[in-house]
Each structure stands twice: as C-alpha cells, then as structure tokens.
A and B are shown apart, each in its own frame.
Chain A
C-alpha cells in the first residue's frame, strides 16, 4: 500500500520534522545573538523545480517566502546539469536573499542514488558585514558593507577558501561570521542527509508525487479559505514616522476567487537613509500577516504561498531598488502587517486586530568611539524590547509582546552581568494600552544608565514615536513610543545616534497597542480588573471608560 494518502502524509510530517531539525542545528551553532534569541533564520526543503515543500517554523516572519523566491532565483541562475553532490551556493544580495546584507542564504542540491532530487536551503543573520555597520546611516548599499552575488561557496565538498577569507576580511566580527557560515553549511548538509535518509526509508526514488501532494493539498486548503471571503478591493493608508520625514504606506488588497493581490501603489518614495525595504521583505511580512488570518493552520510551502501576490511601484519605499540603503529594512517591514490589516479588517471586521506597536524596539548600545584609545570598557549590546499588540476583536491586546516579529525580550540580570549597564526601572506603563471594548496591550517604561560611570552610544531606528497605533471600530489609539534622556529633557526622534553621558538616565518607552471597539462598551468587570491591577488610572476609567463606582 505504498503512497496511499496516509503514507504521503507520514512523509510530509517527516519533511516537516527534517526542516525543524535543520533549523535547530542552525540555531544551536549560530553566533549572532539575534539568531539565538529570535530564531532569525529559515530552513527549508525544495523539489527539483525549486518549489518549497516544507519550512521550519522559526521565530521571525522576515524569512517566510523570501527563501521560497530566492531558491527559485538561484535555481534559474545555475544549470542543474553542472551541479554535483557536495555543491553549495550562497548569496547575501538583499534583493535575492532577505532584504539586507546581514542575511546569508545557502542552497544545496540533494542527490539520491546519484541523481539530483531536490534542494535544501537556509538563511541566517550574520553579525557584521563591514561598511557603516548595523544602522540606518548608510546612504547607499555600498555604505552598508559587503555584497556577495550568487556564487558557489562549496564545490564538491571543497570550501572556497578565498570567498571565506573575503567575508572575514570585510567584517568587524570575522570569527563569528566564519562560525555562522559553517553553521549554515552544516544546516544544508543535515537537511540533505535527512532527506536522502527519508527517501531510502520510504523506498521512493523521487520527490514528485510527495511534492504534488503537499503543494496541491496546501493550495486547495488556502484557496478554499480565500473563496469564503467577500470579493473586491479594499485600500488603506498607514502614516509612519520615517527618518527625515513622515512616510505614507499605501495598500490595495484585492480578493479574487482563488487569489489575493496586494498592491503598494501610492506609497511614498525612498528615504535617503537605510530604512528602505526591498519588495521580497515587505512581501514576507505582509503575507505572514494575511496567513495569520487566512489559513494559519496550513504549513508554509509553495502551495499555501501561491495564492498571494504582492506588487509595488519600483522605488516606492516598500519596493526599494539597488543601490538604495536597506540595512534597517525591518523598521518599516514590520509595519506592513498593520497596513494590510487596515484593508482586511474591512472584509473581516470580527477577525482582525487593531494596530499594535509592531516595530520591535531594539536598542543597540556601544562604547563611545574614543573608549578604545582610552582603554575604557568596550562592549556592544543589542537589547530588544517590545510594546503592546493591538486589541483583538474578542480579546485584549498582549502587553510587552512582540508582533509580528517573534523576538525574545532581554532579561535584566543577564544583561547586567555581561554589559556595563544598570536598569533603574522596567515596568508596564499604565494607560499606554489603547482604550476600547477590548484594550490594547501596554507598552513598557524602561530606565537605564551606565554602571561604570562612562558615556555610551545608542543607535535608534524605531517607529511609532510620532504615529501611535490606531484603534479600530471606535477603539482609541495606544500611547506613542518615547525616548529621552532624563525625564525633564525634550524627547528624541526615533532614528539616529545618541550619546548618553555618564550619570544620565536613558528613558525608553515602548508604544501601546490600539484598542478595539468603543471603550464605553467595555465590561464593568474588565474595567474593575484593570483598575485593581493598576493598568489604567482612575482618571482614564472615569473619563474614557465612563466608569463610576
């Protein structure tokens, strides 16, 4: 009874386990803190045509479907007939891999009984690629570091030593980079070995039947869900802070019988700084957000992704073309879920949440430039904090929780153990959750200073300082983010470099999520609980929720 549906399904489950194994192998060996803390990787298995069959469910959506497209691109770039066992291809081209230079993508053909049967691929975030370093200050891609066009990293098992030397010579963290590339190689090889092992075990010679089963099943399931939606086009505009000026993100979401089209037409043009977003990355977050509502139970693969199509005019800020700087593409990329939810909520008003903090509040800290010469403490630390998520139609938003990204927040004790900083406070900020029948999640209030009496540098690229998360259906907006030094000094902009002097306290407030529905409709019990837990003040309870004792 080979290859009955249940047998194909057992193999599908195995493929899903194989990609998870691949992903774990990569995360365990990685050096980049963002990989370890956030699982900022992807790992997947592809058929011979380059169709993605399975992908590890990892921490951040930024890699979802960028890898699916990247493998197709590389597959088209190199001739299958030239590929040999033990070959591995590589690139970090932001427009092919995952939106900025730090993300390296590897692809390896898998051979079984002497014949190519498919590919494994993976992506991971490397710590440093030279240039101006991780930050929005570059004015073109050349400022941002080393770009490696698609090339062969490993030739028949033999690593291209010159290529590795170039990557190391162009980085401030050569050892970590080398370690991360080896981790990627190991990840590809693990996937290839496991895939071949699975084919051996199940006695199959090629992946075609399994691939068709996976892709057809997933495609059908997704299209069924799309078929349930009302047809037509809905539009939304999201105003965001930007760097040098405010930016408008535009979206038109068209639902047809068997597909969904998202068009960014009308979106503002490029920024002079590295907050521009290649389309592959904007697509990743947009489609992730849509798939959270439309068929979230279907695994990510070529079939479930096929019905979603995303376009945007060239050189709008969500379809940046080379040589635009893109290092901090996640700052706006992570805002695209709120953009598409503004469209989708018009179709599914009782399923789509209000806007949230969305952009992760990362806080890269470093010693001041002169510390090296003076022999002062040297350190580099990338702390990540989250704001509140938007209220859901039936539930309050989540306080201090990452969405859409899957980052983990930092712990105070481990941070203080390894870096010269001291936290004075880290608590939820009362009244920061947008009021509503369902309340938005609360942001955080954080205060920190140097623990050694030395100045330190801060590199900001955050959103929602000027444009807080909007509520939905009568829900109110969440509190804006806020960064300042000492409580009495003026607020700082959300992007740029800041020097925090010894003895000064940095105040860092993450945004709250928007509310959902009229606050006056919030149940008395919920308002009482919020009061008891001091999540809202008496004044807000009275004025906004109309609460009387």
Chain B
C-alpha cells in the first residue's frame, strides 16, 4: 500500500446523524458528509455515508489505509435498556452492593425520588464464598464446591451474561479468574465480565456497576462489530477497523468486543480530540472546547493540548442531568460536562414566572417549531430563527425549510403570553437564559478542577456551537473564540487525530512515608505488559509512548491531585520529587500546602499510546483584508437588544487574512457562525475563524 496517497476514513454514528470524513494521510480533509443514522441497523447508515465521501473524492477502497469508527450504540443500548439479561456474582455476605450503593438521594428535596435502575434486580444477584483482604491475601479460599449451585442459579434466571465482582479483586484477581474458569466449564456459552479486567479500582459499588454495564452490552456490541466488519470488507475495505473510545484513543475490534464499555461517549471524545489538535496547531495552551448540538452541549477543558481526563462518569442520568441519577461507570474517560442545552431544547415559563430552557428537547422529530414537522414547543433554534440569526433558505445545506412564522407563534404562545413579551423579546430572553446556563456550567466545571475560564480560548463546533459561541463566551468572561474548519462534523474529524491507546487505572494503597518501591515497580510492570499488548494489536509497528500518573492526596481529603511519574522503574530518589510535584500542583490549585499532613496514594494510571503526528504550525496571515459581505440581514442584536443590520458572509469565500466586524453571520453548509456586535472575526492561514472580543465594548 502506498503511504503517500493512502486515505483515512472516519465514521461517527450519532443519535440523529452519521458523520463521515475522508482525509489524506496528512489529515487534510478531502470530503465530508452527514447522513441520517439508521437505528435499526446502524451499519447501513455508515455504509451510505462512507460510499458518499468515497464517491465525492472519486477514491478507491483499496486506498483506504485506516478506518476509525465511533458509535453511540453502546451508550444508547444502556439508555434504552436493550442489553442482555445480566446476573451478578459477589462475595458471600455482600449481596446488596448494588442496592445499597452510596446510600444517597441525588436530589435533596425530592420526596418522590426514584433511584436509577441499575439493570440487575436482587433476584439475579448471587454470591459465592471466599474472601480476599485489601492487601490481596486470601482470608478464605474460593468455595469451589458451590460453583455448580451457582451455575444452576444463573441458568434458572435465564441470564445470558454474568458480571463477577469479588471484594478486593483489584488487589488479587485469582478468585475471579478461577471462578470464570469453573463457570465456563459448566456453561460454555455464558458471557462473563470480570471486575478486575473492566475496572480494577477500589470501591465495590462503582466497580460492580461498571462490570454490569460491560456485561450488559457485550453480546450486542460483539454482534454489531462483526456485522460492521463483514459489510465493509464486502465493500472492499482491506485495512483493520479501529474503534474510538471514551478515553480519546483508538482500540482494536477485539478489545472493543471484550471491553465494550470503553466505547461509550466516543463521539464527544472525538470532539475534544479535535479541539486538542487545533489547540496544538495554534499553540493555545489553555482551551475550553464547546460542542453544542441539537440536544446537549458538551464542555471540556484542554490544558497543554491534552483534554482533561477523569476516571469516572455516569451513563443514562435519569432526571435532568442531575449528578448521581445515572449509572456510575469507572473507566478512564475524557472529562466533559454535558448539559441539556441544544438547538432543540424547549423553553417554558414555570409557576414562579421564571423562563426555563431545557433540558427537555424536541429532538429531531418533531424538532423545533420552525422545522414545521409538527413541533409546537418553542426551542432555542426557534429563538435563533426569530432573532434573524438563521437564514431560512440555507439551513442544513438548504435541505430543511425554515418556517419563521411557526417559530414566532410558538414563542408568542408559550413564552410571550406568560411574560407579556413579544416574540422578539421572548427569543432574546430564551437566548440569555440558555447561554447563561451554558456559561454557568462551564464556570462550575472549571472551579471543580481548580481552574479559571477567563483566560481560555474557546474552540466551538457542533451544529449550534458556532452560532452560540460569542454569547456563551461573553457570559463566561472569555475573550477569544476559534471556529475550526468543518465544525459540523467535528467529532469525526477528531477521530482522525486520535492515537491508538490503552489506559489502565488501578488501586494500590501507598503512603509517601512508607513507599514499597519493589512492589510498586512490579505492579507497574504488570500494567505495562497488559496495556502494551492491547496497543500493539492495533499498531504493530508504530513507536509507543507511555505515561504514568499517581493520584495523590493529603490524608483525610477526598479530592485527588494528578501527578505525573517518570516513565521508568522508580528509585528511592524519586520519592522526594513525587512529594514536591504533589505540593506544587496542590498549591497551584489551593494556593497553599499543608506541611505536616501525611500524603497518600490510592490509585495509579498507566497509559500506552502511539505518538500523534506532530501538529503543523501555521504562519499568522500577514494582511488584514476587510471583506465585503455577500448580503445583509436584519437581526436582533444580542448586546443592545435592538434590531440592527448584520453583514452576511459565505465561509467558503473567505480567505486567510480576511477580517470583518460584527454584527455579522458567516454561513457554511452545516452551521452558521454568529459574530456579535462586540466581536470581530478574521481567518488564519489554516482556515480557522477567530472571533475576538473588542476590548472597548462592554455591555
């Protein structure tokens, strides 16, 4: 295969649309398209999109040298409860880990609160004798004599998959491995997930929940991946398919089939990878990525070109995106906050007379009132339409007619009537509320990470990101925004920049004063071997790099501080460095250290990945050519609240160095960039749009 003219294909299957992007080996985009997702068989929609970009580029399948795929199937299967019948096996005496959970209500004032359904009822929760302690020593041997009884129980409840989570299995997995072996001998067709493989961290509730989620989707995902592979092979694809994961790396089909839980939220992760890439290309060390679609907005902090990561998140939050209302999953992920604010978010007036927007969404069916597909609720998109920010004839590549009057009357009927406002004022109010909500969520997210938003560059994409960027930025105190190329298919573009990688986070309790160096080095050696094997499978020849982290805290604290470790066998002399690194990071976050407090480490991370291609740095454009608009539109100014005339530009016609002042709209096939009156815009040599707040204008 000729590397020079090889092609790279990325397909991101979202809830509504499937995005396909074809690029050359340098990562330059040759073709992109959005096709409707086909929920009954998602592979068909993917095939349709892939065929379209291939024919746009007049390319041959044999030229495709890498194919990256991301899908919401794993997430959706968990949300829509379309997985296997799962049974659990936990240590005898601990049948109710799932039911007891954290003993907590996620909403303090809600008397009629219903806890999240965590898939496995008590009637399918079984136990087995045998006990490890926290040090990984056997206190009681595994009760092998009871395994046949266990097999009978599993058979009797019709379980197709089993999640095994034994106490302290992260410290020693012998009992879990042996139990799998014994069960497999009795029930060869049973799908088994082991907690120490899925999530080797202490905290039995989170680990069990994660193992259940994995087991639940395993049969479905295995079937899907097989079907997907077969169809594309038949089409002529010869290269292996790599799967995008929540951690922002790619893994092989085999790893994905074994640990499908790592596939959740891969689309949003792709968006964060894109933002990180653009950050590297532009040298922006502090970034907030802002991905606003039809249903939700996703925000991610990116420091030193690396998206912030976390070790835990929640799937399928029941009530209104409230923390704690979903199913906890403890795996390495790109840390994002997702809030119910998108183009389809519905506005209403509550009984106190407060205007509320979202999190309920009109989705794509029936969609905003302006789509004239039967939607009657006023949405954020309707508000944008009424404010003149969306050109009716050119929305969504001109394929979707916009009914301005329908948007107006929905706003008047629901919001206007209750607050005695006209359609325009109601629209302005909706924007103020929803943009304020997004900015507040961003502020909160930054504070939780000990960071500040004000100095950051916002990188905005997604169908509605470029449209709302200036309004959200103003409320978040952000002065600079970048809109990358192809913002409408940002996640799929991000896939093209993802490394093949695998990260393991594992628990081992150590205090800095009593450091067991040999034990720790052996511990890392084991993790390294496991991670390298996984990455090698997807990247047989590439150079690999490793990253080791310790999650450290003062004794008694809950919040852990991430500290990088040298990538080698640890020596006695590293320990003072480790303490210093911790204190440095701690005082960055909290402005002080606590001198006499012991320091402890509970969790460690090891990541193996391929080296990403070096980012290209683009020279700053030399000229600042003022461009002439292609048209004018009357819009409601978000700064003054008065109607004014805005310039309209076509993004495809803008060139590097072009400069324009707000208020203006920059239209491209899949989205519109709104340049507010207090911002100006210019294009850099890579074709990114920069929006910069004018210093003298503050409302």
Contacts and interface: CB of A to CB of B under 8 A. Distances in A.
B580 interface: no
A20 B103 CA distance: 23
B699 A203 contact: yes
Interface string A417-445: 11000111111100000000000000010
A33 B699 CA distance: 44
A504 interface: no
A217 B597 CA distance: 47
Contacts of A176: 556, 597
User: Which of A10, A203, A224, A384 neighbours the largest number of chain B CB atoms within 10 Å of its CB?
Assistant: A10
Shortest beta-carbon contacts, A-B, top 3: A409-B103, A36-B558, A6-B429
Contact of A218 (B102, B103, B352, B475): B352
A291 B699 CA distance: 38
Interface stretch (A247-255, A310-318, A395-403): A395-403
A13 B111 contact: no
A5 B353 contact: yes
Given A1-B641, A33-B556, A182-B592, A24 B448 contact: yes
A428 B202 contact: no
Contacts of B547: none
A433 to B, nearest CB: 12
Contacts of A533: 121-123
B437 interface: yes
Interface in A131-181: 175-176, 178-179
Interface in B666-699: 698-699
A183 B641 CA distance: 41
Contacts of B123: 532-534
B444 A24 contact: yes
A406 interface: yes
* Chain A CB within 10 A, most for which of B111, B351, B641: B111
Interface of B: 93-96, 99-105, 108-115, 121-123, 133-134, 139, 167-168, 170, 202-205, 350-355, 419, 425, 428-429, 432-433, 436-437, 440, 443-444, 447-448, 450, 475, 477, 507, 509, 554, 556-559, 589-592, 594-597, 602, 641, 698-699
Contacts, number: 204
Nearest to B508: A417
B244 to A, nearest CB: 31
Interface of A: 1, 4-7, 9-10, 13-14, 16-17, 20-21, 24-25, 27-33, 36-37, 57, 59, 61, 127, 175-176, 178-179, 182-183, 186, 190, 197, 201, 203, 217-218, 220-221, 224, 288, 291-293, 296-298, 351, 353, 384-386, 392, 394-395, 398-403, 406-409, 411-414, 416-418, 422-428, 444, 447, 451, 532-535
A402 B104 CA distance: 6
A61 B477 contact: no
A479 B596 CA distance: 46
A407 B103 contact: yes
7 contacts: A9-B354, A175-B597, A221-B351, A296-B111, A392-B111, A399-B99, A402-B104
Nearest to B430: A6
A321 B352 CA distance: 39
Contacts of A24: 444, 447-448
Of B108, B425, B436, B558, most A-chain CB atoms within 10 Å = B108
Contacts of B103: 384-386, 400-402, 407-409
A416 B433 CA distance: 47
B203 A414 contact: yes
A401 B115 CA distance: 10
B168 A21 contact: no
A25 B109 CA distance: 23
Contacts of A409: 100-104
Contacts of B114: 395
B597 A201 contact: no
B436 A417 contact: no
Nearest to A174: B596
A427 B90 CA distance: 12
A20 B699 contact: no
B134 A413 contact: yes
A286 B95 CA distance: 35
Given A186-B591, A385-B103, A412 B204 contact: yes
Nearest to A532: B123
Given A297-B350, A428-B99, A444-B100, A14 B440 contact: yes
